[in-house]
Amino acid sequence: MKVPYIMTPGPTQVSENVRLARALETTNPDLDPQFYDFYKETCKRIGEFLNTKNEVRILSGEGILGLEAACASLTEKGDRVLVIDNGIFGEGFADFVTMYGGEPILFKGDRQREIDIKELKAFLDVDRDFKYATVVHCDTPSGVLNDISKICPLLKEKGIITVVDSVAAMGGEEFKVDDWKIDIALGGSQKAVSAPPGLTFLSISDDAFNAMENRKEPIASFYCNLLNWKDYYEKQWFPYTQSISDIMGLRKAIDNILEEGLDNIIERHHSIAKATRHAVKRAGLELHIKDGYSSTVTVINVPSKINDKKLRNHMLNNYGVMVAGSFGYLEGKVIRIGHMGENAKTDKVCYTLFALQKSLEYLGFTPKVDMVEEFLKEQ
């Protein structure tokens, strides 16, 4: 398999040391106490990455499993849940809430802007009777970034448990679980963390565990039941056999992040994203988002008369660069360049912009500037 540059907003390129870590010898993860220690230490390091002292667990399943597990474990029949929605993932939480018997109440924001804190505050002044609230940090299909540092403290002030999907932001944006009062923070292996897909991890606060323990009805799931994980270490028992090689890869990816340093990583993403937006705008292309730009993905409106599939295929077939389209209401309307994790590097983004430039020219849209040059000037 000849692997192209995967410049998509996840899955991302995986570094060699992560790939090699997945090839190391494995033990029986159910029975070997060494693995319990390894898992515990990995969770501790993820906690460092998330800036939290809360409990962390890694579940065997892609990011969606974490989202569903949070809703399954918290929702009881008839619970009112606030679903903060300014994007496809934001809105999607309503399905999980409904599935587990809750009543989702949607707070809808402009889909091209970050959630307006004043509007949310005004909404909460009228209605605050929610067991928990869900919000997405970076809603990847549009690339909009929400200010979790303001949203979650506001919700907690009203006594609402906070659930944040930061799958596509953490590792590329500042993310402070304890300072920002996030009860359940959700991450995935395949975005800015730059490990292969297959794992989700989450931090769980005491408030969140208490809400689960004080339920009247049992949690209507086994795989999604977070309480099953509470005392895994004391009991030396996992709810199911752990994907040990995946976890060994994730551990290396987290170590890579901690070694580079969180501040350095955030700065690297910020400067790459800023330069990318600058180059795209100077070229005469239009950014999809009006405010709330994520440092992990740049979403560009496809110029009229250009077909998004043809553009992406041309980039892939002629330059070996894969960028993404989008889905739902954005299908065919935008292309997305993922510059997250291992992909947030000058050389990779330069080559991607080169491929974009040449492909646009081929298809009849002439960028006003050389995007690579503009990108490098701004870097």
Ligand X SMILES: *Cc1c(COP(=O)(O)O)cnc(C)c1O
Using CB under 6 A as the criterion, which residues of the chain lie in contact with ligand X when the complex forms? 10, 62-64, 89, 136, 139-140, 165, 167-168, 188, 191
Please, which residue, 89 or 238, has the CB nearer to ligand X?
89
Please, which residue, 98 or 379, has the CB nearer to ligand X?
98
CA dist., res. 12 & res. 344, Å (int): 10
Please, which residue, 163 or 360, has the CB nearer to ligand X?
163
Partners of residue 103 on adjacent β-strands: 80
Nearest to 81 by CA among 114, 105, 54: 105
CB of 57 to ligand X, least distance (A): 17
Indicate if the alpha-carbon torsion angle 170, 124, 65, 92 is positive or negative: negative
CB of 139 to ligand X, least distance (A): 6
Please, which residue, 165 or 173, has the CB nearer to ligand X?
165
Please, which residue, 9 or 29, has the CB nearer to ligand X?
9
CB of 11 to ligand X, least distance (A): 8
Full DSSP string of 66-127: HHHHHHHHH--TT-EEEEEESSHHHHHHHHHHHHTT-EEEEEE--TTS---HHHHHHHHHH-
CB of 251 to ligand X, least distance (A): 20
The angle that helices 63-74 and 206-213 make with each other, rounded to 10 degrees, is 60
CB of 6 to ligand X, least distance (A): 13
- The Cβ-side half-sphere exposure at 283, using a 13 Å CA radius, reads 29
Nearest to 87 by CA among 292, 257, 255, 308: 292
What 3-state class would DSSP assign to 20?
Answer: helix
CA dist., res. 299 & res. 337, Å (int): 7
CB of 234 to ligand X, least distance (A): 31
Please, which residue, 42 or 146, has the CB nearer to ligand X?
146
With beta carbons less than 8 A apart as the criterion, state whether 299 and 336 touch.
Answer: yes
Please, which residue, 253 or 360, has the CB nearer to ligand X?
253
Please, which residue, 134 or 228, has the CB nearer to ligand X?
134
CB of 185 to ligand X, least distance (A): 12
CB of 166 to ligand X, least distance (A): 8
Please, which residue, 98 or 346, has the CB nearer to ligand X?
98
Task: Point out the residue whose Cβ comes nearest to ligand X.
Answer: 63
Burial of 294: CB neighbours in 10 Å, binned 0-12, 13-18, 19+: buried
Please, which residue, 140 or 359, has the CB nearer to ligand X?
140
CA dihedral 254, 224, 67, 270 (to 10 degrees): 0
76-80: long-range contacts at Cβ-Cβ below 8 A with a sequence spacing of 24 or more?
A: 76/100, 76/101, 76/102, 76/131, 76/215, 76/216, 76/217, 77/101, 77/102, 77/217, 78/102, 78/103, 79/103, 79/131, 79/132, 80/105, 80/129, 80/130, 80/131
CB of 137 to ligand X, least distance (A): 7
CB of 62 to ligand X, least distance (A): 5
CA dist., res. 144 & res. 139, Å (int): 5
